[in-house]
A and B are shown apart, each in its own frame.
Chain A
């Protein structure tokens, strides 16, 4: 199956700082990637759709100025959590789109202290 990687796998940062998470499709090109957030013992919630070469589309209630998405190439999308707060602590998971399916990365655990 398709391989999607994320980096870092976990990160701890102080409140007020920014954190960048990378999502890469390793063996295929993905014009579209998705970012999800998962709180403990909850389901995945779609945050935004990342399109290569254009602006991301954000779901209702997700602040685009806080969660900056850049999809600079067909294999890389980045999510930057700006001015992080403890309530942003979560498991962030990306997925990369192929014609019929989505393949998920291993996730990034963000803890804001």
Chain B
């Protein structure tokens, strides 16, 4: 089946620093989604990307859908303590990320030191 390679696996950063994480795939996805999951809770959608090359922002978060449709990155600027959590990329083969069950990356665990 399809697999997503997400990196880094974990990040230890200082408050105020910028963060960058990415996902790559061996196959094409038509939708890329980025989620944040806090312990014991379900994932919360951060950003959805539907077109190759698309660059989308949500506050301090920016994500891009790679031109090849096989990769995506998420940047967080000026990190704050509440950014702590696990970030997952997810891909869908359908245009419109709701149509199919999603394939998830293994997650990036973000830890912020005050």
Minimum Cβ distance to chain B for residue A46 (Å): 4
User: Is residue B107 contacting chain A, with contact meaning CB distance below 8 A?
Assistant: yes
CA A45 – CA B103 in complex, angstroms?
Answer: 7
Partner of A102, one of B41, B102, B107: B102
Chain B: residues with Cβ within 8 Å of the partner, total of: 24
Minimum Cβ distance to chain A for residue B24 (Å): 15
Chain B residues in 8 Å Cβ range of A106:
41-42
Partner of B44, one of A45, A46, A59, A104: A104
Interface size class of A (residues with CB under 8 A): 20 to 34
Residues on A facing B (Cβ under 8 Å): 1, 4, 6, 32, 34, 36, 42-46, 49, 59-60, 91, 93, 95, 97-107, 109
Residues on B facing A (Cβ under 8 Å): 1, 33, 35, 40-45, 48, 50, 88, 96-107
